[in-house]
Amino acid sequence: MANYPTPHIDATPDDFAPTVLMPGDPLRAGFIADNFLQNAKLVNNVRGIQGYTGFYEGCRVSVMASGMGMPSIGIYSYELFNFFGVDNIMRIGSAGAISEKIRVRDIVIGMGACTNSDYASQYHLPGSFAPICSYGMLKVCTETASEMGLRYHVGNLLSSDTFYNDVEGLPEAFIPSKAWGKMGVMAIEMEAAALYMNAARAGKNALAICTVSDHLITGEETTAEERRSSFTDMMELALKTAKKLEK
């Protein structure tokens, strides 16, 4: 018996291209399809998690929302890798910077993803797992970002289970942004580690790239227009990377 449609994706393997871009927000999946893809077809809309497959400069590519957080991206990326034959998933999201070297609107590319989540416990490992991206995807992505003249940083992300942290009364050293920042972590987001673990387990490829929407140390923020334009740059970076991966 085929394992599709799944409870969360009402499609067949033929509906998806080998590379799927995953923004968190379903409306952004629609935005990419409307503005960057030719002949885009809606291939999933279960729970409003819009998925589209179309063509970018002649390359067949899919875009589907991940929702927010590790449980959500964990479900969608698991099903895409294991039941729909997808080879590469590229998260395109936003992150809060915790490194002074990083400015809002910069792009952070997760070579690794630390986490405060218990996601890895399902694998029963006799130690801790280091979630890392696909080197092949990272290489193509950084080459492309350099060609495009984008400001980007490659390093560790923190995939956090919480957006709001109860830090009342905590000494500064224990505040998550300070503690992880001390270890050179660039920025906090909420999905990369689960995506990287699912890719590792499935023998597939994943990469998380994020635009920095806010700075948790300096308090610098982006305007809605800045967020929109920097998201557009990242989308083009992801689409060009997807196209090169097909060669």
Do 4 and 82 form a contact (C-beta atoms < 8 A)?
no
Examine the residue annotation and report whether 214 is marked as an active-site residue of this protein: yes
- Closer to ligand HPA by CB, 43 or 238: give it: 238
CB of 236 to ligand HPA, least distance (A): 20
CA distance 53 to 17: 7
Residues that bind ligand HPA (CB under 6 A): 94-96, 160, 163, 188-190, 213-214, 216
Residue number with the smallest Cβ distance to ligand HPA: 96
Least CB distance to ligand HPA at residue 90 (A):
17
Rg (CA), the chain: 17
> Which of the residues 10, 25, 214, 233 is marked catalytic?
214
CA atoms within 13 A on the CB side of 60: 8
Cβ closer to ligand HPA: 160 or 230?
160
Q: Which amino acid is at 2?
A: A
Q: What's the min distance (Å) between Cβ of 182 and ligand HPA? A: 17
In the complex, least distance from residue 188 CB atom to ligand HPA, rounded to whole angstroms: 4
User: Bridge partners of 22?
Assistant: 91
**Residue 183: count of CB within 10 angstroms of its CB:** 10
By beta-carbon proximity to ligand HPA, the closer residue of 54 and 181 is 181
Nearer CB in complex with ligand HPA: 19/213: 213
Q: What one-character DSSP code corresponds to residue 203?
A: T
The Cα 80–Cα 86 span in angstroms is: 5
Strand runs labelled E in 178-225: 187-189, 205-215
Nearest approach in angstroms of CB 120 to ligand HPA is 19
Q: Which is nearer to ligand HPA, 204 or 215 (CB)?
A: 215
**What whole-number distance in Å separates Cα of residue 71 and Cα of residue 137?**
23
Q: Which ranges of 38-83 does DSSP label H, i.e. alpha helix?
A: 70-83
Contact 118, 237 (CB under 8 A): no
Residues designated as active site: 214
